Amino acid sequence: MSTTYTLDTSTSRANPTPKPMKRLTAPAIQRRKKDGATEKPIVMLTAYTARMAQILDPHCDMLLVGDSLGQVIYGLPSTVPVTLEMMCAHGAAVVRGSYHSVVVIDMPFGSYEASPQQAFESASHILKETGAAAVKLEGGEAMAETVAFLTARGIPVVGHVGLTPQAVNALGGYAARGRSDAEAEKIVGDAKALDQAGVFAIVIEGVVEPIAIAATKAVGAPTIGIGASAQCDGQVLVTEDMLGLFERTPRFVKTYGTMAETIDETVKQYAAEVSDRSFPTEAQTYQPKS
């Protein structure tokens, strides 16, 4: 039986409550794409905490514990400094907070590139520490051997092509990829190589739309777009971007909420009530028993 975590109103801490629901699996996600088409697109969002996982889980097929947590949670300039320990800590929290979605955890920069053996050690450590279902790694044809090595040893893998944030120093920034014929051909070739190596899904990030469509049509695995195309087999966004928690977001983000404004107004009210001593009231304090 799967487990989700509900908020205990007496302690404000997460406590486990059994749920009679089977968690989705990597093969179930892969089977969404039949004969080159996905009738029901895959819904994916990032999650870094148990509470956010609780809220997102009923609406998502996949939750990605992205190394974007380096920027979103820790205020780092890029994903490059993120460590395996960070990913494991947040990954375990997201698994504890969900019961339905496939939880996928990014392998951080430097934890898998050296060799397939290094990748297996890192991936197996992640899955053991977190209870997640799969890992994600960046890179195309160059990582195909590693993907095949992992999948042959029972580790489900999500690939990632196009704009690969861990390679930001080599790419020279976060500009869209695939504008030249050579780069477009490489992106499609990378997707094919990962597909043949055994990934069960491929994230296509920050590429011009015709290339995202071509890559989606070229592979058997479902593609998940971010800054790509609605014709991908699914979509993913950084949740905090979608909720409007940052002043600046990438152009491919649709802001579905204004959470930063809500938080600002809420805290402003709290600060005012603390300042004029109208909070706490008798309702929020403990009185002597009569």
Which parts are annotated binding residues for 3-methyl-2-oxobutanoate? 67-68, 106, 136
Residues paired with residue 65 on neighbouring β-strands, in sequence order: 105
Binding site listing: 67-68, 106, 136, 138
H or E segment and range at residue 236: strand 234-237
State the Cα–Cα distance between residues 290 and 283, nearest whole angstrom. 16
- Cα separation values, 10 from 7, 14, 15, 287, Å: 9, 11, 11, 17
Binding site listing for Mg(2+): 67, 106, 138
- Cα separation values, 140 from 29, 151, 161, 194, Å: 20, 15, 6, 6
Residues paired with residue 62 on neighbouring β-strands, in sequence order: 44, 102
- In the residue annotation, 205 being an active-site residue is answered as yes
Catalytic pick among 205, 261, 265, 282: 205
State the Cα–Cα distance between residues 259 and 265, nearest whole angstrom. 10
Catalytic residues: 205
